[in-house]
Amino acid sequence: MDIFLGILIGVGLVGVAVWARSTFLGFSGQSPEDYATNGPDFDIRQHLNGPIVCEGVIFGPTGRVTSRFVADFHAEWDGNTGVMTEKFRYDSGTTQDREWRLSVDDQGRIRAEADDLVGAGRGQQSGSGVCLKYAIRLPESAGSHVLDVVDWMYLVENGTIMNRSQFRKFGIKVGELVATMRPADPAEEKQRNAA
């Protein structure tokens, strides 16, 4: 009985340590304040505006790449409210169109809505970082699961945005996305529109 109790306590301590590490030290442990004085100021009204090119990969639960994509975004703002359309092309040949409806208040708090979200997303911009948290319903072709998402976007000096997102179900990481977003080159944009 004492051995069993010792094993149970050991497993419990390991579980608490893993939870504490992921909550306070890992990806989920970041906060907007971590970036308040770090790097260039990221304002989504300025940096997620106009035509944007996005390239990225999606990792499955084992950490292997499950999908690659390129996308064309276009964002327009009217003061503190904006709409960003997204047109994804995946390596499987499938396409996906999405639309974000965004608003930002004077303290940098973000509210995000999209047709595939469950409720509204909430976020914060601070310094060079932007965090957005929301629940997304996957399309029927992917099982219609609802996943909790944490998006972190980081502005780098040349205007490129690095995006890292984690997807969780019941608190367990089931996927991750890493992507770049950059202003579309006018010649590149003209060529895509002609095709």
Which residues lie across from 100 on neighbouring strands?
A: 84
The whole-number pLDDT of residue 144 equals 86
The residue type of 150 is V
The whole-number pLDDT of residue 170 equals 93
The whole-number pLDDT of residue 181 equals 96
The whole-number pLDDT of residue 20 equals 54
Neighbours of 50 (CB within 10 A): 14
Question: What is the C-alpha radius of gyration for the chain, rounded to an integer number of angstroms?
Answer: 19
What's the pTM? 0.79
For the chain of 195 residues, list the mean pLDDT of each consecutive stretch of 10: 70 59 61 72 93 96 95 96 97 95 95 96 92 93 90 93 95 95 78 60
Residues in CB range of 68: below 8 A, 6 or more apart: 56, 57, 58, 90, 91
User: What is the H or E stretch that residue 8 is in?
Assistant: helix 2-20
The whole-number pLDDT of residue 88 equals 96
The whole-number pLDDT of residue 89 equals 97
The whole-number pLDDT of residue 2 equals 75
Give the 3-state secondary structure of residue 97. strand
Q: Which CATH class is domain 31-194?
A: mainly beta
CB-based contacts of 139-144 (< 8 A; 24+ apart in sequence): 139/96, 141/94
